[in-house]
Amino acid sequence: MADERNTSNVPPEPGAKPGSGRRARAARPARAVEGNGLWDRPQLLNLISDVLMVVGAAGLGYAAVAALSRLPAFPLREVVVMTPLAQVTNAQLEYVARSSLRGNFFTVDLDDVRASFEKLPWVRRADVRRRWPGGVEVRLEEHVASAYWRVGETGDMRLVNRYGEVFSAASNAKMPVFSGPEGSSSVLLAKFDEFTGKLGPLGKQLVGVSLSAREAWQLKLDDGLTIELGHDQVKAPIDERLARFVRHYPKARTELNMNVAVVDLRYPSGFALRPIVPEGLAGKQEKKGKR
């Protein structure tokens, strides 16, 4: 019995609290250590893994395409024009195709091909795309000419399309002739339609519209008659003067019994008529004026 008591009364370790012993210390629960590192966040790891896979796949795809594009494969075999053409010829198309198509299906410079087609005289706009596996699709918008454009003092002729844009091309079509300051072609095209409507009751066709640098208008009819409209005035707008001319010109011409060369509408309340001078008489008057 004495031995058992000595065993139970083993002195505590230095610094231990009274009543605490080895048995109490052994019964103390272990503390759980919570991790807060990257490897303990599975959702973030999955996201990073997905991003790396996408980047890797994109890199492999780019490398594969780059390698294929350098191989002597995928040659360009055809150029397909998807739009019907009225002005551009097959010879012009073949010339552009042969001179601008360089490389293969992957390396051909589509912007360069498009620019080459847009240099053709009648082409307003071009759209060029790849056509698998070895072709190029071309869509062309042609200019639709509405009038001729007389260039300044040189008298060179260009064309005006239905948008009022000036372009260079050859044509022998019967169209009105415009002349005016640079950049005014769209204004003249709109005014041509307006003047044509107002002159309709006369049964005459408008064949020329001119605008001076000082914004004075002049019209030319198909019978040779020249109409001087002058400037648009606040007290006597062009529309009013032109309407007055349409109402009174047939009667005035009949009463005067004369062939008219020029009608001057620059007066605020009327107009003046200038007769056609015979060629022989015109020559005599010119000589008389020189004396």
Please give the residue that has the higher pLDDT: either 13 or 242: 242
pLDDT for the residue numbered 72:
59
Q: How sure is the predictor about 21, in pLDDT bands with cuts at 50, 70 and 90?
A: very low
Reading the block at residue 242, the tokens are 């032109």
CA atoms within 13 A on the CB side of 176: 24
**What is 151-290's CATH superfamily?**
Cell division protein FtsQ/DivIB (3.40.50.11690)
Is residue 211 scored above 50 in pLDDT?
Answer: yes
Residue 49: predicted pLDDT: 74
Across the range 208-216, mean pLDDT stands at: 96
What φ, ψ does residue 224 adopt, rounded to 5°? Answer: 95, -5
pLDDT at 51 exceeding the cut of 90: no
Q: Please provide the distance, in angstroms rounded to a whole number, between the alpha carbons at the two ends of the chain.
A: 169
Arithmetic mean of pLDDT, 203-232: 97
Q: Which residue has the higher pLDDT, 266 or 280?
A: 266
- Say what the pLDDT of residue 187 is: 98
Where do the domains of the chain lie?
Answer: 78-142, 151-290
Assign a CATH topology to domain 78-142: Ubiquitin-like (UB roll) (3.10.20)
User: With 60 as the cut, is the pLDDT of residue 20 above it?
Assistant: no
Supply 218's token pair: 């002049």
